Amino acid sequence: MAESDTQPSSAEENNAVLQPKRIYVKDVSFETPNSPEIFKKQWEPALGIDIGQKAVELGDDFYEVTLTLTATMKCADSTAYLAEVQQAGIFLIKGISEDKLLHILNIYCPRMLYPYACSAATELVARGGFPQLLLAPVSFDAIYRQRQAEARGGDNNA
């Protein structure tokens, strides 16, 4: 699997610690700006997904990673709903090189948070009276590499 490069090297493994300490919903939002009219329309949905992430060092080898998942469903020319979940986790990470730390914060931790965010978004959508929201798996490795390339000015030779 391409994302296996997030694992510590064998020399680091003896002293490395990577432990989720708490996983929680930091913020949720659900809007149906065109209800109840949207429920009268022929259901021809178009889903847009945006994913963002942020890592903050908390001190003493603790980091908070927040994954923001935004699902925007449109029907014809109207927004049916907008569901946003900020799923966060506090992780104890120590004994890891700076390069590997960036991989862990940008790939491993968001990958761990993603199923929780999907579950929360799915529940919001269902409670809003809409058909089930099923989200596909995401390659956080690809997202990380794309962001690195963009930071280097579009150079895709990673």
CATH of the domain at 27: 3.10.420.10
Q: What is the per-residue pLDDT for 13?
A: 60
- The pLDDT tens digits of the residues spanning 114-141 come to 999 999 999 999 999 999 999 999 999 9
Question: Is residue 4 assigned to a domain?
Answer: no
Burial class (CB in 10 A: 0-12, 13-18, 19+), 107: buried
Q: Domain total for the chain? A: 1
Q: What is the per-residue pLDDT for 73?
A: 97
Of 4 and 78, the one with more pLDDT: 78
Question: Is residue 113 assigned to a domain?
Answer: yes
**Enclosing domain of residue 98:** 11-151
Question: Is residue 3 assigned to a domain?
Answer: no
- The pLDDT tens digits of the residues spanning 71-129 come to 999 998 899 999 999 999 999 999 999 889 999 999 999 999 999 999 999 999 999 99
Question: Is residue 5 assigned to a domain?
Answer: no
Q: How far is residue 130's CA from residue 106's CA, in Å, rounded to a whole number? A: 32
Question: Is residue 138 assigned to a domain?
Answer: yes
Question: Is residue 127 assigned to a domain?
Answer: yes
Question: Is residue 6 assigned to a domain?
Answer: no
CB hemisphere CA count around 89 (13 angstroms): 23
Question: Is residue 158 assigned to a domain?
Answer: no
pTM for this predicted structure: 0.84
Percentage of the chain exceeding pLDDT 90: 77
Average pLDDT (18-37) is: 96
Q: How far is residue 148's CA from residue 146's CA, in Å, rounded to a whole number? A: 5
Q: What is the per-residue pLDDT for 1?
A: 44
